[in-house]
A and B are shown apart, each in its own frame.
Chain A
């Protein structure tokens, strides 16, 4: 009886393959292609690093574009902007705006350094992520970032986002 119920509920979810086009993905290729890191921490790789450890790699690989202190240079800043979101000149940075710390790892890993994405290994990435958080006064210089601690970091603007509540304009004219 239990078995029958399990079977029935599974059948409700599984739609049968209709065209049999495409091939099954192997778990290896899923592993190597899936680099998504979710706010829950799912997908974060093993490894660790602190802001102190990140200084060297940051100054060699990031500072040219984002400034030695993350203040911005050839490209935008990674730090600052606290308290500016309501002003006429909002400065949206990791520190002032980003809701999740996991996004920093996900993004740096997939896209930075701009001209050579994928260059950093997991320890180096955790270290520069820790440094960016430290530059924004969110964690201490020696706080270790890893797959468990990074999702727990509470970003200052975590509650600053609301759902799309449009239409807020566009009422009938006549």
Chain B
């Protein structure tokens, strides 16, 4: 292949030479004249080029075991988030778990309480699916004011991976789910034993007990060696470092489904068990913090996703919402996964505003911030999915709109 490419390159330079009215063989390029220095040798585990700098910004925290880092979505392409850049949200640090000793206990309202080793789980029928994971608190800052300066800060608590594992349904069938079993409680092996309740219908639908992410073992920050993947549901229920699942008849009312991850409304009541992530999109290029070098062609790019299914349409406006155009959607469009959208655009060098709006397969259209605050008030903290406006100044700089 490289040889072929070189040949066609030479061929082209031959034509160029002919065009210059010379019968001489083409002159050698600088690169070809130099003796090639040998590169690095083969290696056991790849690293990215040292020229690449995309990273999760690490905030300066008094207790860095409880906190989050965000995916720099504007530096990612396509729909897969590199595992190394998947967002983090930990409540008690990342435990160091030996996969030879880690087990999953499945008990409660089942006929046969079972213990699975990682090796056991890998023997069972496996499935791989591409799903986004989004923290319910993603874009939470936008409730008070749409102030997120760039994509990472305002939208970076969302990432998308290929997850591989055992469908939870298979484990429940092995254990013999009892009819009274209506909910489950899942618990992690982190220091705080983070735990969440989930309805059994979801467990029997599409949950995965995952051991791999993007083709290799799940990263420690993402739950190594075992994570519950709950497609389309808020990130917190995708329990990392999974160590037990108990089948129960009622939700357990854990701290993270009462004190946290409940959505306060204007009248002082709070919605509970708001699992589903509503449709959302964000333009990743041009986006806050970037600078356009001058008028001319730009490809508007972004990501859209919905916990309800696939992304049907993304409308993009390059004039602050006056006119809209349909963006091209990258195929295949997968349910509960990122969908990449693209739209060619000629920037005329004038000040303007870019906005995207996603529509999913249920017909749900991503709301504006005004529609959201009208429906819920200002105190919800979680589940913000309003459209994001990026302002382009005449000098090409892009800011939060």
Is A88 touching B113 in the complex (CB atoms < 8 A)? no
Considering the complex, which residues of chain B in the window 251-282 have a beta carbon less than 8 Å from any beta carbon of chain A?
252-255, 258-259, 262, 264, 266-276, 278-279
CB distance from B129 to the nearest CB of A (A): 21
Q: Note all chain A residues with C-beta closer than 8 A to B275.
A: 164
Nearest-CB residue, chain B, relative to A171: B365
Q: Note all chain A residues with C-beta closer than 8 A to B66.
A: 114
Is A98 touching B258 in the complex (CB atoms < 8 A)? yes
Is B259 touching A22 in the complex (CB atoms < 8 A)? no
Which of A100-108, A121-129, A131-139 interfaces with chain B? A100-108
CB distance from A172 to the nearest CB of B (A): 6
Complex CA distance for A53 and B148, rounded to whole angstroms: 47
**B89: Cβ under 8 A from any A Cβ:** no
Is A86 touching B266 in the complex (CB atoms < 8 A)? yes
Complex CA distance for A111 and B92, rounded to whole angstroms: 8
Contact for B259 among A18, A86, A92, CB less than 8 A = A92
**B63: Cβ under 8 A from any A Cβ:** yes
Which of B172-180, B212-220, B390-398 interfaces with chain A? B172-180
Complex CA distance for A163 and B271, rounded to whole angstroms: 6
Is B111 touching A34 in the complex (CB atoms < 8 A)? no
**A161: Cβ under 8 A from any B Cβ:** yes
Specify the main secondary structure of chain A where it touches its partner: loop
Is A170 touching B270 in the complex (CB atoms < 8 A)? no
Q: How many residues of A contact B (CB 8 A)?
A: 54
Is A85 touching B268 in the complex (CB atoms < 8 A)? yes
CB distance from B269 to the nearest CB of A (A): 5
**A60: Cβ under 8 A from any B Cβ:** no
Complex CA distance for A13 and B179, rounded to whole angstroms: 6
Greatest chain B CB density within 10 A among A90, A103, A170 is at: A170
Contact for A85 among B111, B254, B264, B363, CB less than 8 A = B264
**B379: Cβ under 8 A from any A Cβ:** yes
Q: Note all chain B residues with C-beta closer than 8 A to A74.
A: 62
**B71: Cβ under 8 A from any A Cβ:** no
Considering the complex, which residues of chain A in the window 74-131 have a beta carbon less than 8 Å from any beta carbon of chain B?
74, 85-86, 88, 90, 92, 94, 97-100, 102-103, 106-107, 110-111, 114, 117
CB distance from A79 to the nearest CB of B (A): 13
Is A24 touching B112 in the complex (CB atoms < 8 A)? yes
From known contacts A24-B112, A103-B253, infer whether A164 and B274 are also in contact, taking CB-CB under 8 Å. Answer: yes
Q: Note all chain B residues with C-beta closer than 8 A to A98.
A: 258-259
Is B62 touching A36 in the complex (CB atoms < 8 A)? no
CB distance from B104 to the nearest CB of A (A): 8
CB distance from B141 to the nearest CB of A (A): 16
Is A172 touching B116 in the complex (CB atoms < 8 A)? no
B interface footprint on A5-22 (CB within 8 Å = 1, 0 otherwise): 000000001110111011
A interface footprint on B121-137 (CB within 8 Å = 1, 0 otherwise): 00110000000000000
In the complex, 28 of the A-B residue pairs with CB atoms within 8 angstroms, ordered by the A residue number, are A13-B176, A14-B111, A15-B176, A18-B173, A19-B124, A21-B123, A22-B116, A25-B107, A25-B115, A36-B185, A36-B195, A37-B252, A38-B253, A92-B259, A97-B258, A102-B253, A103-B255, A160-B268, A162-B269, A164-B273, A165-B271, A166-B278, A169-B367, A169-B375, A170-B278, A170-B279, A170-B366, A171-B365
Known: A21-B116, A86-B268, A90-B379. 14 other contacts (CB 8 A): A18-B174, A19-B170, A21-B174, A24-B115, A33-B244, A36-B246, A85-B379, A98-B258, A103-B254, A111-B192, A160-B270, A161-B258, A169-B367, A170-B363
Please give the residue numbers on chain A whose beta carbons come within 8 Å of chain B beta carbons, in ascending order. 13-15, 17-19, 21-25, 29-30, 33-40, 74, 85-86, 88, 90, 92, 94, 97-100, 102-103, 106-107, 110-111, 114, 117, 160-173
**List of 5 A-B pairs having minimum Cβ-Cβ separation, nearest first:** A111-B192, A86-B268, A170-B364, A25-B113, A85-B268
